[in-house]
A and B are shown apart, each in its own frame.
Chain A
Amino acid sequence: MLFLLAAVACDDETKFCDQALNTDLHMRFIRDSAGFTRDTTMAQVTLYALKMDSIYRKQAVSDVFLSLSPVADSSRFYLKVDSISDPDTITFRYKRAPHFVSPGCGFATFFNLDTVISTNNTIQSLLINQKAITSTTNDTAHITLYFGI
């Protein structure tokens, strides 16, 4: 009886990390055809931060996750959605704050978006749905990208 009570009340919270520490920004692709919008899968998505390795390389995806720099207040990404379209550059400006996720996981960086600017070579417009980036498991995309192609 006492052992059971001890097991319930005495779990070591520092031993296990049961949450993701990455706080990735989630972007969703929407195709806008004469005012009629729908989710779309882009055929060959290439995405990377400037001067960094690729996150996606010619992959067919309908949404992407990207990691903002934890040591700078802005990050700039290259996005090309298919082989024939011109690439775009998206610039994210944000505030950073360390956050204690749990005793088992330690600290992660939480972001809060200030502005998002993109070139309009292929991207028609963008919408910030949620400024706070605190969890990778969030189903709601932080940003929606609208394409006219």
Chain B
Amino acid sequence: MIQRILLYILVFSSSCIAARAQVKKPALTPIDSSVRAADTTARKNVAEKKKPVPALPDSIYEVPGGIRIGIDISRFILKVFQPYRTDVSFAGDMRIKKDLYLAAELGFHSTSHSDSNYTYKGNGIFTTVGVDWNFLQKISNKERYMIYGGIRYGFAHLNYEAPSYTIYDSYWGDKLPGSFPKTSVNAHWVELILGLKAEVLKNFFLGWSIREKIKVSGPSKDLAFPPIVIPGFGSGTKGSQFDWQYTVSYCIPLGNIKVHVPRKAEPPKRR
């Protein structure tokens, strides 16, 4: 009796091992015919081979997720070159898939300029929303470096005015003073972006990007009085604008993102 029980246990366990071998082996390499011939375990389970093979499970692994929030320090450098501008811009992104990030920016701007011809005041806010796609092939799933391309839709609302101006005429000898009242306008544009981000300390990132902004609608130079600067876009008299960004950001870890990799279909067996 004891011998029979031991025999049943042996047969049951060997059949389990054979079933597991059938699941695992095809995913690695196709089984060679000579190896198959020597696989005595499989021979013992002819009845099981006739059963329908269950669908192979897909591979799932996790990559770090979270919301990355940063400030664009290039706007402070910009003030050295364009002292009439004051810009503050915040950038954020959130991983939604392995290589896809939802990205947005929010900022405000003010312009103040005065010379012998005119004075100008303007202020406004802007936002952009879009996605970034990471091209970098990672060595480890935990790696968070990025080389990316992105696209954004941008919107700005601004108010501006010329409290005073003077037009000089050398022939008539006239000085014609005047002013332009406060004007409110909206602008819309599209941005194409190339950039990189590096994790320099745990959860701290430095990144820069270059971007081409193409105005879709908004004030143009054909207006009698276009704005000098459109917040978030740049020059108020240009239809397109090249720009750059340098961000310092912190990633708030909010769990991991599951990456679902479908199992490749098994190649058909040779007969």
Whether A9 contacts B242 by the Cβ 8 Å rule is yes
Whether B242 contacts A98 by the Cβ 8 Å rule is no
Known contacts A2-B208, A8-B242, A9-B243; is-contact A107 B167 (Cβ 8 Å): yes
> In the bound complex, how far is the Cα of B226 from the Cα of A15, in angstroms?
17
Interface size on B, residues (CB 8 A): 41
Whether A69 contacts B165 by the Cβ 8 Å rule is no
Tell me the smallest distance from the CB of B247 to a CB of chain A, in Å: 13
Whether A14 contacts B174 by the Cβ 8 Å rule is no
> In the bound complex, how far is the Cα of B225 from the Cα of A106, in angstroms?
10
Known contacts A2-B208, A71-B176, A106-B115; is-contact A13 B242 (Cβ 8 Å): no
Whether B113 contacts A103 by the Cβ 8 Å rule is yes
Whether A52 contacts B172 by the Cβ 8 Å rule is yes
Whether B226 contacts A100 by the Cβ 8 Å rule is yes
**B117 on the interface (CB 8 Å rule)?**
yes
Whether A70 contacts B174 by the Cβ 8 Å rule is yes
> In the bound complex, how far is the Cα of B167 from the Cα of A103, in angstroms?
14
Whether B84 contacts A2 by the Cβ 8 Å rule is no
Instruction: Chain A residues near B237: list those with CB within 8 A.
Output: 13, 102-103
Tell me the smallest distance from the CB of A90 to a CB of chain B, in Å: 16
Whether A12 contacts B176 by the Cβ 8 Å rule is no
Known contacts A105-B117, A107-B117; is-contact A71 B172 (Cβ 8 Å): yes
**B61 on the interface (CB 8 Å rule)?**
no
Whether A108 contacts B246 by the Cβ 8 Å rule is no
Instruction: Chain B residues near A55: list those with CB within 8 A.
Output: 171
Known contacts A103-B113, A106-B165; is-contact A6 B81 (Cβ 8 Å): yes
Whether A69 contacts B172 by the Cβ 8 Å rule is yes
**Size range of the chain A interface in the assembly:** 20 to 34
Q: Which one of A10, A67, A107, A109 lies within 8 Å of B81 (CB-CB)?
A: A10
Whether B113 contacts A107 by the Cβ 8 Å rule is no
> In the bound complex, how far is the Cα of B210 from the Cα of A6, in angstroms?
10
**B133 on the interface (CB 8 Å rule)?**
no
Instruction: Chain B residues near A8: list those with CB within 8 A.
Output: 242
Whether A13 contacts B228 by the Cβ 8 Å rule is yes
**B169 on the interface (CB 8 Å rule)?**
yes
Instruction: Chain A residues near B82: list those with CB within 8 A.
Output: 10, 12-14
Whether B84 contacts A14 by the Cβ 8 Å rule is yes
The interface centre, meaning the residue of A8, A12, A14, A53 with most chain B CB atoms within 10 A of its CB, is A14
Q: Which one of B113, B118, B168, B224 lies within 8 Å of A97 (CB-CB)?
A: B224
**A57 on the interface (CB 8 Å rule)?**
no
Q: Which one of A5, A52, A97, A108 lies within 8 Å of B171 (CB-CB)?
A: A52
Whether B244 contacts A2 by the Cβ 8 Å rule is yes
Tell me the smallest distance from the CB of B176 to a CB of chain A, in Å: 5
**B178 on the interface (CB 8 Å rule)?**
yes
Instruction: Chain B residues near A107: list those with CB within 8 A.
Output: 117-118, 162, 165-167, 178
> In the bound complex, how far is the Cα of B172 from the Cα of A22, in angstroms?
12
Instruction: Chain B residues near A11: list those with CB within 8 A.
Output: 81
Tell me the smallest distance from the CB of A97 to a CB of chain B, in Å: 6
> In the bound complex, how far is the Cα of B223 from the Cα of A110, in angstroms?
12
Q: Which one of B83, B162, B174, B244 lies within 8 Å of A71 (CB-CB)?
A: B174
Whether A6 contacts B77 by the Cβ 8 Å rule is yes
Contacting B at CB under 8 A, from A21-65, are 21-22, 49, 52-53, 55
> In the bound complex, how far is the Cα of B207 from the Cα of A94, in angstroms?
56
Whether B242 contacts A70 by the Cβ 8 Å rule is no
Task: List 25 A-B residue pairs with CB atoms under 8 Å apart, sorted by A's residue number.
Answer: A9-B234, A9-B241, A9-B242, A12-B81, A12-B82, A14-B115, A22-B170, A49-B171, A52-B171, A53-B171, A55-B171, A67-B171, A67-B172, A70-B169, A70-B176, A71-B172, A98-B167, A98-B224, A98-B225, A100-B162, A100-B180, A106-B166, A107-B165, A107-B167, A109-B169
**Chain A residues within CB distance 8 Å of chain B:** 2, 5-6, 8-14, 21-22, 49, 52-53, 55, 67, 69-71, 97-100, 102-103, 105-110
